[in-house]
């Protein structure tokens, strides 16, 4: 049974509609909120969908308010969907020490198997199964034409989802992604807490491990700030470069001097990413990219 979708807010932007919506999730057992931008379009037209997965501590609101994506989406005719980063609400487990890099806002896009998180932290199934079904039912989305992108923890999510579901996504990109969570403190903490000590379960959610294990995508676009405080200890893009080179995956990895980990960085290159996705979605659909 399709859940009831509550409209929290809508606003006109670049000729389209930016909305925020809420529903009861069967996967997480909580209410979940997400945002959707629908660009101007002819009635009856189905539009390609770009999924944007956010990073640690974020909700859908961060990219919705700071991402500066709507002009590019309107130009290319792209729907952009931004889910939350974790279940929330009374009774939902959190880090007992109140840390910001685990628990609420930090679900790492996995289905937790460890108590007490297994009850609600099912963000893999929410993002890959439940929410796409809702988007397909309520918005003019062409689910045969999907792309995915994300930032930091969300970049990790975008890469691993695309590598696990290569037939679903026509393109994938990331801003400052956690490319090898099994090798860095953020990922080790999250995977231990959500997935226990099963290293095989960890590897299914590690982009470098997946590529080294044979997973493939047609190509990757990754932007990284050179002044990112997390670059050396948590992000390690050189590991992705090495894995892609060995696997023959075309990788555009751009290091931008002076840019940090924030939405000032993301918004500076958001249009580049959406241009890149639009070109590949258009090629996939055997259509010419829309122009302004």
Catalytic residues: 152, 228, 261
Cα(165)–Cα(172) distance, integer angstroms: 11
Do 200 and 191 contact (CB within 8 A), yes or no? no
Nearest-CA neighbor of 95 among 151, 56, 123, 152?
A: 56
CB contact at 8 A, 56 and 84: no
Q: What token pair was written down for 131?
A: 């929410």
* 111 Cα distance to chain centroid: 15
- Reported as type and span, the H/E element at residue 146 is strand 141-151
Q: What is the rounded CA–CA span in Å between residue 105 and residue 90?
A: 14
């Amino acid at each position: 049974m399709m859940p009831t979708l509550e409209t929290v807010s809508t606003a006109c932007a670049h000729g389209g509609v930016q909305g925020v919506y809420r529903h009861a999730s069967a996967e997480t057992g909580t209410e979940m909120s997400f945002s959707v931008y629908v660009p101007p379009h002819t009635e009856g037209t189905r539009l390609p969908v770009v999924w944007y997965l956010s990073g640690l501590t974020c909700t859908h609101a961060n990219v919705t308010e700071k991402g500066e994506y709507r002009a590019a989406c309107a130009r290319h005719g792209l729907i952009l969907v931004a889910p939350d980063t974790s279940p929330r609400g009374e009774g939902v487990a959190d880090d007992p020490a109140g840390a910001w890099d685990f628990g609420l806002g930090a679900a790492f896009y996995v289905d937790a198997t460890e108590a007490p998180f297994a009850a609600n932290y099912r963000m893999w199934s929410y993002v890959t199964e439940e929410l796409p079904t809702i988007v397909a039912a309520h918005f003019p989305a062409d689910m045969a034409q999907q792309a995915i992108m994300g930032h930091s923890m969300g970049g990790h999510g975008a890469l691993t989802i695309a590598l696990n579901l290569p037939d679903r996504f026509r393109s994938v990109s990331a801003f400052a992604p956690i490319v090898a969570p099994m090798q860095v403190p953020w990922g080790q903490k999250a995977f231990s807490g959500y997935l226990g000590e099963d290293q095989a379960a960890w590897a299914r959610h590690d982009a470098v491990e997946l590529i080294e294990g044979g997973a493939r995508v047609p190509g990757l676009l990754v932007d990284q700030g050179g002044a990112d405080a997390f670059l050396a200890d948590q992000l390690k893009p050189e590991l992705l470069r090495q894995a892609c080179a060995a696997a023959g995956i075309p990788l555009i990895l751009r290091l931008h001097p002076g840019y940090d980990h924030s939405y000032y960085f993301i918004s500076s290159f958001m249009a580049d990413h959406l241009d890149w996705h639009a070109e590949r979605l258009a090629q996939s659909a055997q259509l010419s990219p829309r122009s302004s």
